[in-house]
Chains A and B, each alone.
Chain A
Amino acid sequence: MDPLPQDPTVEAEGRYFDGVSARPHPVRLHLDARFRVTGREIAKDWDPLDLRAEDSVPPLMRVGPAHAPDRVEFSNAALAATLTARCPDLHRREGAGGAVRLVLWSVAAGISVLLVAVFGVPYVARLLVPLVPDSVEARLGAVVEPQVVRVLGHPPACTGEAGRAALDRLVSRLVAARRPDGSLPADLAVSVRRHEMANALALPGARVMLLSGLIARATTPDEVAAVLAHELGHVHTRDPTRALIQASGTSFLLSLVLGDFTGSTVIVAVGEALLSAGYSRDAERAADAYAVEMMARAGGNGAALADILERIAADDGPRGTLDLLRSHPLTTERAAAIRALAGPSASGRQILPEKEWGALKGICATTERSSDRSRTP
């Protein structure tokens, strides 16, 4: 490849720039074993191996020594071709290339971020939850609830007076029946909203939201009470707060990597993640056990939890992203575990008298529309 001494000489006209001023100097270019630039008071003698070309559109070529600022420009195809043939490093760029290495590194980085999101964030969230003071958790609930209401499409709150009284009695019976170590926050707030979906949600700050679809699908008061008790189980273990920390951490981490870092998307993602992503299977099993025991101590039928989950599963199957079954997948083992915990004698019991059950069913007969709309941004 080395240029031989008898290499043909190529000559062309060009413009020389000294790198200090923008003034062009007309020069004559002369390439043989060396690259010579001659003009009025200009005489450069460069080694072709030192030459580097800057990006340009052919036939224009802009070349100069790698470690000096002066350059020549010329538009001569023959000289450009000869120069390209004789200077192996002409188009070399410091720090260029390495795309494969970059891809491998970033794939590795991406996988490690994913691993952190999948395993690290839940672990950190579990560690953090006991450190969150109640007052902060209450405020978190106040921030999250409007988001959840928005995602659900602003369902109106149900405020039927008799139904509300029946619900309050049911909640206080359940709370009174908790185990000594099954503490629940004092500011527990259970609300009902008119929505055709059969679901119940536990939010941070001891907020539980029942959707009227669930009450409509229940055949006994124990079924509503058991789902409510299940959500109280989540409240007791502060699963919603943990899920919130986990969802924020994960979406923060992912938006960090994916470059969408506008903050607002994180907040929106949290609301949706909280609704669609369920808790871990262990958390669900614990909440089931909590619910069955609470029902038994309150004199209700704990097996009703399995009944209503089975009914919803048989009627709908997992439909939307916000479905109860999406966050609480019903397996035969789960239903069997619930029934085993409840025992054979549970099915005869009923937690509310028929009259109060009727009132609870009618809680959404009258609703107020405007109050929740004014609260949401």
Chain B
Amino acid sequence: MSIAMTEARPGSAPQGVSVTFDTTFRGLTRLALKGILLSLVTFGIYRFWYVTDLRRFFWSRTTIDGSPAVYTGTGKELFLGFLVALVLLVPIYLGLFAISLAIPALAPASVAISFVSLFVLGQYALYRGRRYRAMRTLWRGIRLGQDGSALGYAARAAGWWLLVYLSFGLAFPFMRASQERYRINHTLVGTSRLTSEARGRSVLGPWLLLYLVGLGIPIGFGVALLVASDFSLPSDLMVPKPGGKAGETILNPAYAGTAIGRLANALFFAALICLPAAFMLIPYYRAREARAFAGAVRLGGVRLASTLRARAFYGPYIRYVLSLVGLMLVLGLGGVLLALAARQVNFSFIHWFIVLGYVIMAPLGAVLYVRLVRARLWAAVATSLTVLNSEDLSAILASARGAGSGLQEGLADALDVGGALQIGL
């Protein structure tokens, strides 16, 4: 089909169109409740269809330049992929188990061996899952795609994590940027290739903040402790807790009041406060990273810009925690009232109430999580995006390649890595 277009082109000034997302979430609660309840009664098998419904919902409510994305995956594909992955995984698990039995010298390391091999397998599965989602995504009839090698991606992940480990975590943002570049540079929209200019430097600041709060302060006290003890910690600094269980230790009271004792106590408190504080900074880092990486995406002359604020990542979690607390208060109050009533009736009634509360809480909590966290995070990322030079979008052409195998995401589900809604595909 060749259509001669002689439309007047606007000037060369960058022209931005926004990415929109329908934030009324109409129909989402019903969809989530149905999906979760059916997953419960089907021993979890319905979750593949539920995930598919969720993706259709989120894809179709996200529009770029006025056109919604289309998700064409099916629950059946996910389910079959899961079954195939099981067939592959069972021998791997049995092999890992057999190794620890056959070579007793390896038995102490078997946990580490399992962890490393499952980690690499998990990264492999994540990349394949992403390929499936890309190939099931269409925009204006143009199918997305992903090339590159899942094995290569997993090998890179393993190498990078080793580097992160050896650098005490300092290499983390560079790993994130490198893996993001690999993913984006191998993503295709029709015949056009996305490219990413993501740089670890651009998120080094937020990461260092998190790093300093979480590790820097405790490490500082640790070093001070070492200096104060002339780099030879007394071996009796920790003593078994009198009357405590095996493995419980306390600071030796003999060191109370000394510089070493004070520093050791400070170290404990620093770890107690700083680690949760660093945990609270994770959404901040994630938001900064999402903004920086989104702004680094190019498609020919088209580029993305993001105005994502960290508070857009905090709000959903805060609202979710508050609603959970509220829900539990309501249920707890009901429980107390019932317990008072049951005192005259039947004591075992309370047990049933606890079971009932759990049966109500678990699906409601899951629905709230989808509605308040998943959807809000997706909305925050999507609506923060602007497509610059969007007139170049017209140059995108569909490619001849087909939708690809439908079995590619099963491994990720079987390994329990990745999620239904990986933001940014």
Contacts and interface: CB of A to CB of B under 8 A. Distances in A.
Interface of A: 15, 17-25, 40-42, 54-57, 60, 62, 69-71, 73, 95, 99, 102-103, 106-107, 109-110, 113, 136, 139-140, 142-143, 153-156, 252, 256-264, 369, 372-373, 377
A28 to B, nearest CB: 16
A143 B101 contact: yes
Nearest to B100: A143
B43 A258 contact: yes
A110 B101 contact: no
A261 B43 contact: no
B43 A102 contact: no
- The 4 A-B residue pairs with the shortest CB-CB distance, nearest first, are A55-B60, A19-B141, A106-B42, A23-B394
Contacts of A55: 56-57, 59-60, 68, 70
A103 B101 contact: no
Contacts of A156: 246
A153 B244 CA distance: 12
B interface residue count range (under 10 / 10 to 19 / 20 to 34 / 35 or more): 35 or more
A350 B47 CA distance: 62
15 contacts: A23-B5, A25-B5, A54-B68, A54-B70, A55-B57, A55-B70, A56-B60, A56-B68, A60-B68, A113-B43, A136-B101, A142-B104, A259-B413, A261-B414, A261-B415
Contacts of B86: 256, 261
Given A22-B140, A136-B101, A258-B44, A99 B38 contact: yes
A194 to B, nearest CB: 9
A81 B68 CA distance: 19
B256 interface: no
A106 B414 CA distance: 17
Given A24-B66, A369-B240, A373-B247, 20 more contacts: A15-B67, A18-B141, A20-B141, A20-B398, A21-B142, A22-B190, A24-B65, A24-B67, A24-B140, A25-B5, A54-B60, A57-B60, A57-B63, A73-B66, A106-B42, A109-B43, A110-B43, A142-B104, A258-B44, A259-B44
A110 B379 CA distance: 37
A24 B394 contact: yes
B117 to A, nearest CB: 10
Contacts, number: 151
B398 A19 contact: yes
Interface string B50-68: 0000001101110101111
- Central interface residue in A40, A252, A263, A373, by most chain B CB within 10 Å: A263
B246 A154 contact: yes
Nearest to B413: A259
Contacts of B139: 22
Contacts of A263: 93, 96, 114, 118
Contact of A22 (B104, B247, B393): B393
